[in-house]
Structures are given as C-alpha cells and as structure tokens.
Amino acid sequence: MSKPERGLGWGGLPPPGHHGALGRDPVKLQAFMRDAVEVRLAPGMAEALRHAAAGLGLALPGMGESAGTGSATGAVTTLGLAPGEWLALARPEEPGAFARRIASGLEAAASVVETGHGLACFSVSGRAAREVLAKGCRLDLHPAVFTSSTAARTVIAQIPVTLWRKDEAGAADSPVFALAVPLTFAQSFAHFLLGASAGTGAEILPASKD
C-alpha cells in the first residue's frame, strides 16, 4: 500500500474545473504543499546566524522581503516576516527532514520550529489575480510595490495570511501570488477565494507539490 499523500486531506478548493463567470481572463487557483520552518534569531547571535546560514546556503532576506535559493527540487524560499524572524519554505520531502536539515545547520544561532503541518498554501495567478485578491487584501499588490521579492503577513477575510510571490522569472504581467493560511482555516479561505473570483471566473487546477 502506498503512503497517503501528505497535505491533501484538507480539501479546500473544489475538484479541478471552471468556476464562476466565463470571462476571457480567468484566474488560476491552486492548492499547493510546502514544508515550512520558522527561524528565529537567538538573542545576541546575529553574526553566528549569518555565518551558519551562509554555510547552509540559506538566504535570510530583510524584513518584508523574500529570497529564493537553490533550484528545482532543492529550492528554498525564505520570507522575512519580522525583525529576526523568517519562514523558510521548501517542496515537500520526507517528514521532518527539511526542519532537521535547517536546525542542524543553524545550531544554537536560531530557534527552528517546524510549522508546515499547520499550513495550507494557495496560489492565485493570471492577469486578474490582483483584482481578485483586492476583494479581501488591504495591502497594495501593484507590481511596483509588491514585487517578486516582497513578503508580508496580513489579514484577509479575518484569517491570518502569509503572502509572497511565486513567479517564474520574467512573468511580470502575470504575477503568481502565494498565500499560506492556518490549515484549520483552509476551507474558509478557499471559500473566500471562490467568492472573490466568481466575477472574473477561475480555473481550478489540481493540488500540486510544486
């Protein structure tokens, strides 16, 4: 018997297909999976953390920024969400392996807590993505303000959301917004996305590991 797919149990979006109005420019909605660890700088260890992160090949961007390292399956996206606090995200691998790798690499310079099991991730892409998210998101998502290296935590539909861009390089006119919400709110958040995209129409894609 094969192992059950991790991260698929929460449902969230309905089965793949079209949703809402039959517009010319439907947004793409997709649930995706990430391993995640929260990295917090230990007091007085800034220099040690910088050194350890460099040794690990882990980028530690400034507050409000995101940075990617590695490519394809080994890629890690790190989001700077508060002073001395980062969320590192990676494609799903063996349970616990990502957190162990980060924790052993950073040693005493930071506290590392695995949080991926508590997160549900969605992406909203396409030309109308900004318009759809604006129905609940109060941040300015204009490409000049919210660039492909911006990260933020905010509140959408009364649900705490971590927001960043998950673009392929050179896709400036068609941004891919990524949103991570607490797993227990995944259904409610999917409900918000469906409501917000009903006017433009949406293409629902199968849940993905990428």
Partner 1 sequence: MQRYSAFRLALEALRGHGGWQPAWRDAAPKDRYKVVIVGAGGHGLATAYHLARDHGITDVAVLDKGPLGLGNVGRNTTIIRSNYFTAPNIRFYDHSLKLWENLERELNFNVMVSQRGSLNLAHSDGQRDLFARRANAMRLEGVAIEMLDKDAVKALCPLIDVDNGRYPVVGGFLQRRAGTVRHDAVAWGYARAASARGVDIVQHCEVTAIPREGARAMGVETTRGFIGADKVVLAVAGHSSRLAAMAGFRLPIETHVLQAFVTEAVKPLLDIVVTYGAGHFYVSQSDKGGLVFGGGTDGYNSYAQRGTLPMAEEVHAAGITLMPALSRLRTLRQWGGVMDMSMDGNPIISTTPVENLAVSTGWCYGGFKAIPAGGTCLAHLVATGAPHPLAAHFGLNRFETGAVIDERGVGPHPYLH
Partner 2 sequence: MLRITCPHCGPRDEIEFRYRGDASLSRPGPEDDAKAFQRYAYERENPAGMHLEWWLHVGGCRRALKLQRDTASHVIGGAGEP
Q: Which residues bind partner 2 (CB under 8 A)?
A: 63-64, 81-83, 85, 138-139, 152-155, 158, 160
115 lies in the binding site for partner 1 (CB under 8 A): no
DSSP 20: S
111 lies in the binding site for partner 1 (CB under 8 A): no
Cα angle, residue 160 at apex, residues 67 and 191 outer, rounded to 5°: 110
Please report, as a single letter, which amino acid is at residue 200.
T
Task: Tell me which of partner 2, partner 1, none is bound by residue 154, counting a contact when its beta carbon lies within the kind-specific cut-off of 5 to 8 angstroms.
Answer: partner 2
187 lies in the binding site for partner 1 (CB under 8 A): yes
Site string for partner 1, 120-159 (x = CB under 8 A): --------------------------------------x-
188 lies in the binding site for partner 1 (CB under 8 A): yes
Task: Tell me which of partner 2, partner 1, none is bound by residue 152, counting a contact when its beta carbon lies within the kind-specific cut-off of 5 to 8 angstroms.
Answer: partner 2
151 in Cβ contact with 89 (< 8 Å): no
Task: Tell me which of partner 1, partner 2, none is bound by residue 131, counting a contact when its beta carbon lies within the kind-specific cut-off of 5 to 8 angstroms.
Answer: none
Task: Tell me which of partner 1, partner 2, none is bound by residue 111, counting a contact when its beta carbon lies within the kind-specific cut-off of 5 to 8 angstroms.
Answer: none
Min dist. Cβ of residue 155 to partner 2 (A): 4
DSSP 169: T
Task: Tell me which of partner 1, partner 2, none is bound by residue 83, counting a contact when its beta carbon lies within the kind-specific cut-off of 5 to 8 angstroms.
Answer: partner 2
DSSP 36: E
Distances in Å between the alpha carbon of 13 and those of 18, 154, 155, 187, 191?
Answer: 12, 21, 20, 7, 8
Min dist. Cβ of residue 128 to partner 2 (A): 23
Min dist. Cβ of residue 85 to partner 2 (A): 8
CA distance 169 to 120: 24
Residue 35: CB atoms within 10 A of its CB come to 26
Which ranges of the chain does DSSP label H, i.e. alpha helix? 46-56, 97-106, 129-133, 186-197
Cα angle, residue 96 at apex, residues 49 and 107 outer, rounded to 5°: 20
* Closer to partner 1 by Cβ: residue 178 or 186: 186
* Closer to partner 2 by Cβ: residue 7 or 136: 136
Report the residue count for the chain.
210
Please report, as a single letter, which amino acid is at residue 100.
R
